[in-house]
Amino acid sequence: MPYPDTPFEDNFNSSLIIGLNEEEYSTAILKDHFEKTSKWLCSSPKITSYRVNYLKSNSEEVLEMTRKYISKVLGTNSVIVEKHLLIPNVIVIQHDLEKKILEKYDKEVVVDVDCASAVLRGAHIYAPGVLAMMSGTQVGDKISIYADSKKKCKRGLQKLYEDNGKIFIGNGESKMVRHELFGENLALSGVAVQVIDTISGCPSLGDNFLPPGLALLQNLPSILCVYALEPQPSEKILDMCAAPGNKTTHIAELMRNKGDVVAIDKTLKKTNQLKNRCAEFGAKAHIFDADSTKIYSDDSVRKCVENGPPFSSETFDRILLDTPCSVLGKRPQLVNSTSEKVIRSYVPLQRKLFKTAVKLLKVNGTLVYSTCTITLAENEGMVAWALKTFDCLELVKPKLCLGGPGWEGTSLKEEQRLLVQRFGPDQPVDSVGFFFACFVKKSSCENH
């Protein structure tokens, strides 16, 4: 059930419908999907998943550490922690099935909506996310946590924030005071509020209950799309839009660090993220900052991929295109005012990246296209465009299918919709909105 008084649907309705709809798409079908999906996006997933890093640990070790932490630190044995039945390196934490009715304290802290969403998924509140804290709040005080859904809270507010769209999301204990959060030239870092309980029922695990590199908080669909790539030792594999490196480290893990993983992202800041994540997880990868729409060149002589782009045609055995997208699959979304212009801006970029990927992929190689959004144009629409544009590509079914079929409304046939993986409401995996499709390149593609 969506959280009370969330303005998500009011702000999001028109943008989403327009963003999904194109001339050849069925508006009636999309409205039916939207009604279910918008309510689902307003709620929190009922599970939290961790991917165990087999380069440094094993599922039994992480399972035991997680159970001990929840029992001793959180003081409860009611939270179910277990290995996923079908994915051996995934630990699943089951949440309370019903939203909690919590006592509200006199003192409050107001956070931005992104921070609030993270809190509802089990995070503590870090200093940069705090918008307001009442004067007189001391370390150790019990305080109630509110989200500023209308983005009207003035940063540094000292008094009670009048009810101008604020949403109660839980309670916590203050770990910082005002002068540590508001002022000039502050390097904001650290936990400002330790979350005790939330209306989502998700246990507050924080980021540091496991030693670095042992496991990663990661949504199940993101894990599954890397399994769909089926990376093998000794291969050359390209991750085109790789930061922050969650999927890159998974690829390297499945290859047992044998072979060549090339990870690309556009800026130095993002590639530094990649390097840090790979170092933490013990994952070997060749990392480059580059525009992945421009990493192919007709003039390139085939060379060692470790020397970086540009690359010649048919260089890679497998390619992951986890493309930039409108990110509309995030849960929970307390507010979303994404504009039509922004939503529409992604398809042209996705097509450019896809064209580059096809050129760089070897014959009989595998390409996995994925997004963390829900729009038809960026998902099934992209698959339909790809099959029309590249007669060398064949859409194939991944070995591990835990998502649902693709939406109707494009030129994809019913049997093709059954080959893609869409994650949304009314499906076994209650995670986030996500989509991926697998292609095999059956022959060289000409004139594309």
Catalytic residue numbers read 372
Cα–Cα distances in angstroms (integers) from residue 425 to residues 35, 260, 346, 371, 430, in the given order: 10, 37, 24, 17, 7
As given in the structure block, the two tokens for residue 430 are 């209650």
| Rounded Cα distance, 361 and 96, in Å | 45
Region for 426 from its dihedrals, namely left if φ exceeds 0, alpha if ψ lies in -120 to 50, beta otherwise? left
Q: Are 446 and 231 in contact (CB under 8 A)?
A: no
Strands 316-322 and 361-371: parallel
Phi, psi of 141, rounded to the nearest 5 degrees: -70, 140
Q: Are 330 and 432 in contact (CB under 8 A)?
A: yes
Q: Are 260 and 317 in contact (CB under 8 A)?
A: no
As given in the structure block, the two tokens for residue 313 are 């045609």
- Rounded to the nearest angstrom, the gap between the alpha carbon of residue 378 and the centroid of all alpha carbons in its chain is 16
